[in-house]
Structure 1
Amino acid sequence: MSRRCEITGKGPRKGYRVSHSQRHTKHRWLPNLRTITITDEKGRRRKVKLSIRALRTMSKSPKLRRVRGPQ
């Protein structure tokens, strides 16, 4: 299963950690994802992986309604 938001497409980012001595070591930053169950406008329930930013935006939308959050 990929670590990617199904709505925004946010995924892992690559970069370097830089210490005080300016030594660079490779690092991977993961997005803040949650798996939630949603109900769409047709009444169907499905599990989706969402970033927290998408979850906040979705909570303001009348089209998609959150049923259950992370446990």
Structure 2
Amino acid sequence: MSRVCAVSGKKAMSGNKRSHSLRATRRKWNVNLQKVTVMVDGKPQRVRMSARALKSLKAQG
């Protein structure tokens, strides 16, 4: 299963890790995915959702 949010479609970001000497090496920032059960068409379904999307969903009600 890929590390993609089922609601927002967020994926991992890539960039550089910077040491004290500012040497750049590639790194990756993963999405904070949580396994949650949500109602889809009146049926409970378990999906992987980012914490940000979950927070937004709870705020909307």
TM-score (norm 1): 0.77
Aligned-partner Cα distance in 2 for 1:19–1:31: 23
Secondary structure at the counterpart of residue 55 of structure 2: helix
TM-score (norm 2): 0.88
Secondary structure at the counterpart of residue 21 of structure 1: coil
Pairwise mapping of residues 38-49 of structure 1 onto structure 2 (< 5 A)?
Answer: 38-40=38-40, 42-49=41-48
Structure 1 position 15 matched with structure 2 position 8: no
Residue 39 of structure 1, CA deviation: 1.7
Residue 49 of structure 1, CA deviation: 0.9
Gaps of 5+ in 2: none
Identity %: 36
Aligned-partner Cα distance in 1 for 2:45–2:9: 18
Aligned-partner Cα distance in 2 for 1:3–1:60: 24
Secondary structure at the counterpart of residue 57 of structure 2: helix
Q: Which ranges of 4 or more aligned residues in structure 1 deviate by more than 4 Å?
A: none
Gaps of 5+ in 1: 63-71
Aligned-partner Cα distance in 1 for 2:38–2:23: 44
Residue 58 of structure 1, CA deviation: 0.9
Match for residue 60 of structure 2? 61
Residue 61 of structure 1, CA deviation: 3.0
Q: Which amino acid aligns with 2:51?
A: I
